Structures are given as C-alpha cells and as structure tokens.
Structure 1
Amino acid sequence: MVRHDPTVDAWFERYDNPQRELVMAVRDAVLDADERVTETIKWQAPTFVYRGNIASFYPKAKAHASLMFHRGAELPDPEGLLEGEGDVSRVAKFADAAELGQKRDALQALVRAWIATRDAD
C-alpha cells in the first residue's frame, strides 16, 4: 500500500509541469517497491529515503519524468535503466506512462537493491 507524506502531497499541489501525472505515477511505483521507503522534500524536490537518500526527482524536466539515484553507480542495474557516467549518481528517465509500465519492475528492483545494501551495512 502506497503511503504519501502530506508535505510531498502539498508540493505536488503546487507542481506545475506537463509531466505532473507521470511524476506522480513514478512516485507511487517507488513507494510501492517496499513499505519501508518513505518520502520527504529535500533540495526543493520529492526525495525517497531508506537509511539514506535513495533518489530525488528533477522537477524541472518537461519532456520526461527524471529520477536521480544519488548513489546509483553502486546499484546493480541488469535492465540498464540508469543513465550516466559519473562516479556516484545515475538517472532514470520515463517518457510516458507506457514506458513507466515497461520499466516499473526494473525501477522497483533498483529500490530494493538499495534497501538490501543498507540492510547489509
């Protein structure tokens, strides 16, 4: 069951972006990955948390929903969902609801991989 934080709900009420519905659907997919994942507002954007920051939305993206995994380079990504070459972060992009549907399992696997790394520490 997806649990929304009222502070994040309030942020979405003010969020004026053509990808608003898609971003909200990505939000639900992340929160639905594991009941221990919570959300908050950090860096002026919704951020998902479990024993550290998992990922944050890039709210200014207008052509797609963009979710930055703060330490994405450390996560296994067998489906190749994450983009980027940096030493630490990686980005998942979703162009529309159909693409999110296709990539939902891979997205949730990344969230669960984060949780597994945190639980192993």
Structure 2
Amino acid sequence: MDGLFHFPEATRHDAGVAIWMQRHTGELGRIARYWFDVMRGCDNDVRELLHDGHPTACVRDAAFGYVNAFTSHVNVGFFKGAELPDPTGLLQGTGKSMRHVKLRPGEPVDENALRALIAAAWADMDARL
C-alpha cells in the first residue's frame, strides 16, 4: 500500500464535477471554480472526479488536490499537504497527511503562494507515481 488515494475511475472531464460546479453559484462557487481550474491547468492529463462529494484533481489516478465550498468559505485542499513546502504559512490542518487553504470572499489571498502550492502538490504526486 502506497498511502495514496487512487481513483481509476477519474476522467479528463467528469460529469459529476461539472454538475457540482453548476450547483455552486455566487462568490463561493466562483472561488472554487477558479482554483479547481488552476489544478486542471497543472498538466494536460489531469484527471478529475467527485470524491466525498467534492471536485478532486488527480495525477493519472492518484488524487493531489480538491476544492470544497462551505457556507462561508472554500477549502483548497491537498492530499499530501503535510509534506508540501509552505513558506508563507497558507496551509491549515493537523491531520497526518491532508492540509487545506481556507478562502473567504473579500479576504485577500497570496495567489502566487497558492499557485505554488498547487504546482508543488501536482509535482509531488507525479514524482510519487
């Protein structure tokens, strides 16, 4: 067992993800769509699916990131986030592996740092495979 979340059913464009995006309107939906699109842009072959009810991005079949919208914020999360470099301290959480960045409408975020985390999560998962 490699400790990764493998989803062989992940596809290039998952219909469930599209429906999730359509259902999440307003500012929270916009934030979630924006950052999931950044994950999709990491590589021409990023795969996706709904896992535990939220959009999840994969390197081949291994999950590296997700977005989820709540009532007042969006999480941009990473399956191996505890092992990612985070020089600006964006990551939150205390789990063994997973970490997330909490985004709230109207609150600034260091976009370059979050883009770097997403790229690092993709590259880390790609190297693990």
Structure 1's unaligned 5+ residue stretches are: none
**What is the CA–CA distance in structure 1 between the aligned matches of 2:110 and 2:45, rounded to whole Å?**
21
User: Structure 1 length as normaliser, TM-score?
Assistant: 0.76
Q: Which moved more, 1:76-85 or 1:4-13?
A: 4-13
SS across alignment from 1:19: helix
**What is the CA–CA distance in structure 1 between the aligned matches of 2:42 and 2:105, rounded to whole Å?**
19
Question: How far has the Cα of 1:6 moved from its partner?
Answer: 4.9
2:91 maps to 1:76 = no
Q: Name the % identity.
A: 30
CA-to-aligned-CA distance 1:29-80 (integer Å, 9 cap, x gap): 2223443433221111101111411122233x12111122122101111121
Alignment coverage as a number of residue pairs? 115
Corresponding residue number in structure 2 for 1:42: 51
User: Structure 2 length as normaliser, TM-score?
Assistant: 0.72
What CA RMSD, in Å, does the superposition of the two structures yield over aligned residues? 2.5
Structure 2's unaligned 5+ residue stretches are: 1-11
Corresponding residue number in structure 1 for 2:4: none
* Alignment partner of 1:22 out of 23, 31, 34: 31
2:29 maps to 1:5 = no
2:127 maps to 1:117 = no
Corresponding residue number in structure 2 for 1:105: 112
SS across alignment from 1:112: helix
Dislocated runs of 4+, deviation >4 Å: none
